[in-house]
Structure 1
């Protein structure tokens, strides 16, 4: 291609990291999606990005359907590549029509998975411990459930972001939007124990202010959190977990216990109420199942 693809991708990645402030995980997904499309263009003998037309974009998406990928995955790839072409249009004058006119697949009606309160209690009890690793892991779990923050937001926390006296954590969300989220005494106690009895000893001579660290004293990554949660779930003999499931649980439990939608939206850091409204479907389904199980003539 006339435009050096490696250079274009590198500059696009830098843009996502510095200007869009995307998490490392999200940036990696965007990079993978764009490179996948470039590989496809080579098979179609398209050597110049300006030669990309709607027909190639449509064929690429059809190939994704043939691979039986989930609609959410296909939609993400379209968004990633569309973002790249918008960037390339502004930076290099490359036309962006091909993906701009491509529709996203209709979303699958899939309700967010969450833990019931008794399952979550089982998860907490199975992972109690007084060693340094257990104290750190419990602080992670308590804070995720207490605040509903994203894993990327949690791994970005600094030591001074969590005020244990006021029970508030300062979070930098998507688009560098700052918000303050309260947390209760369970999370406060877990954070206090971790901060006093675990983190200083794990850190040794390391000098940085990341709140959560791995066992080598380095800042904890998103991938590290996923591994920790998987291990905690195995201890509790529960189903496989993904970090966003705790965020879903946080929102669902709040709504089940009477919290209003706008408050939950603000706590989650959702820009649009529609993103929060999916949890009303979860709570309605929960009510329906409770009714069927409890009513004598259901």
Structure 2
């Protein structure tokens, strides 16, 4: 931030404060935006060899934008990451131009690089079940095993993000037939809870040596504090090695598998969108491509060729 003028630094902070208060953006998103826009403004200072005050950044040209994008490319930034950075810069400039009354066309008209949308990498249904069974065998402690199984079952059975599963508190137990989950952007959704997930959590609570309270985290680490997501990432890494599964099998892959298996069973996209908490249906539509890809894989493997 040292290369950014005080006026620009204040404007950036005001923008971020507004996003946090009015748009409900997550801390991770705000941190990413701060880094992307700060990096952009710092580049412009070096590019022009002088501090870029409010008047200067209002005069950014198409040539300046090309120079920034070329610098990013030369630094090894991929198309997907560059598109994300450009999106943050455009969002900031759109807000700043309305506030300061300048024309932001040079920034807003800059085209993002094209990139191939990565498809979610779900697991096969039998692999998902095997993962839960194998996770249970990774700890010598019964309560830790029960804890890990309960978390992974929630990821796969309810389509939760790991952060959402670990945000549950003692007040959420015993698990009801449906949970009200607050996800990204403070977006609320209601997800049904399968009996198998209720049973897994009940078993964990029964064995957990740390007293439960309504205010404290439901899932605890060995010393009693809130469970760190790295613990679940680690236990799944061990399990996938034993099962011979690829490195794409992560806690988030369980959520992808939940959505893909629902779609395969006849679930409609709108319902799956609501269960996952996606703000846009286009995000959920990626699972259609996954399902089609799986169908073609089976077709090519089994269809009798002439």
TM range (shorter): 0.7 to 0.9
Aligned to 1:139: 150
Q: Cα offset for 1:170?
A: 0.7
1:177 partnered with 2:187: yes
Q: Cα offset for 1:289?
A: 0.9
CA distance in 2, matches of 1:85, 1:117: 45
Spell out the pairing of 1:68-87 with structure 2 (5 A cutoff): 68-87=76-95
Q: Specify the structure having the higher radius of gyration (Cα).
A: 2
Mind listing any 5+ residue stretches in structure 2 that lack a counterpart? none
Q: Cα offset for 1:141?
A: 0.9
Query: Is 1:123–1:236's contact at 8 Å kept on the other side of the alignment?
Result: yes
CA distance in 2, matches of 1:13, 1:254: 37
Aligned to 1:149: 160
Provide the alpha-carbon RMSD of the alignment: 2.9
Spell out the pairing of 1:51-200 with structure 2 (5 A cutoff): 51-52=56-57, 53=60, 54-89=62-97, 96-129=104-137, 131-161=142-172, 164=175, 166-198=176-208
Aligned to 1:225: 229
1:25 partnered with 2:28: yes
The total of aligned residue pairs comes to 291
Mind listing any 5+ residue stretches in structure 1 that lack a counterpart? none
- TM-score if structure 1 supplies the norm length? 0.83
Aligned to 2:239: 235
Q: Could you tell me which of 35, 52, 55 is aligned with 1:47?
A: 52
1:275 partnered with 2:283: yes
CA distance in 2, matches of 1:64, 1:213: 41
CA distance in 1, matches of 2:211, 2:87: 40
Decide which moves more: 67-76 or 285-294.
Answer: 67-76
Q: 1:15 to 1:216 in 2, by over 3 A?
A: farther
Decide which moves more: 177-186 or 166-175.
Answer: 166-175
Q: Could you tell me which of 255, 263, 275 is aligned with 2:271?
A: 263
